[in-house]
Structure 1
């Protein structure tokens, strides 16, 4: 049995200055770029928790709450909120700080699931997680329900993929 770890042991941060090449025609950060940042910081958090390579199993949601504009610092904070046998739920909070005024706001939140991979390339056990702060406890308490919903959604995705098949659009 693996020794449990505190949530704080997986806490990972990443920040970047938003510049014009990072933005769309609205002068806000490209959503796809933010999605890549989210996956990256979440992966580091999962690896920090498991001390194993980790692969993205799902992204439950990315809720974009406010646009992120040029000349802001986008700051992402990720941590493992819950674990199953080989999987880890990671929460990512995205904040933006206007570098000229100091104003900060949460601009997005996201839940992702990662699976720890052993040296043999197969899923391997991960330590359980121990929440301490009110925020960590709140997220930990809701994780089992999110896991159940994730399982239902995954089954539906598999069913849909089977129905749709893999033919190219022009093939009959």
Structure 2
């Protein structure tokens, strides 16, 4: 499998923030933004591996600035790193006030996507290589994020085992 550049998976999505997208504060619902993030990350991952993908984890979503009704939201995503069957995808969201032109990075996120075959089993993905300084920074710091992701996953498995499926107040 031939390695691919980060830029080859670049995906950009723009949306207008309308009243049904907002909460009682007039700002975009965090869950709505997270849905946009997952969508754009999946498209970037498929562009990289040219296979169906599933979301393995949302490693981080950091809301840095509010997104108001009437603004637009522009999401940019690309694959920063890959390992066997998984890909790390970086997503940056920018809000723009269309009337003033003011733009702010409102959210950053890292997601892990896994390529799957026709039996929904993990499938190998191409390596990825960075070209720009920003891509190199993300690529070089990805193994540390992977280590944290794996530690967090083990903790989640322990929580699932500990709490199980019963309600906490049931004897």
Q: Which TM-score tier does this pair reach, normalised by the shorter chain?
A: over 0.9
For residues 60-93 of structure 1, the C-alpha deviation after alignment (integer angstroms, 9 at most, x for no partner) is 1100000001111100000000000000000000
* Aligned residue pairs, count: 171
Within a 5 Å distance, the mapping from 1:137-152 to structure 2 comes to 137-152=136-151
Within a 5 Å distance, the mapping from 1:14-163 to structure 2 comes to 14-163=13-162
Gaps of 5+ in 2: none
* Whole-Å separation in 1 of the counterparts to 2:128 and 2:90: 13
Q: Runs ≥4 in structure 1, deviation > 6 angstroms?
A: none
Match of 1:62, SS state, is strand
RMSD: 0.9
* Whole-Å separation in 1 of the counterparts to 2:169 and 2:107: 39
Match of 1:96, SS state, is strand
For residues 100-138 of structure 1, the C-alpha deviation after alignment (integer angstroms, 9 at most, x for no partner) is 011111000000000000122210000000111111111
Shift, 1:169, TM fit: 4.3
Gaps of 5+ in 1: none
* Whole-Å separation in 2 of the counterparts to 1:87 and 1:68: 31
* Whole-Å separation in 2 of the counterparts to 1:151 and 1:170: 30
Shift, 1:165, TM fit: 1.1
> Taking structure 1 as the reference length, what is the TM-score of the superposition?
0.97
* Whole-Å separation in 2 of the counterparts to 1:80 and 1:6: 9
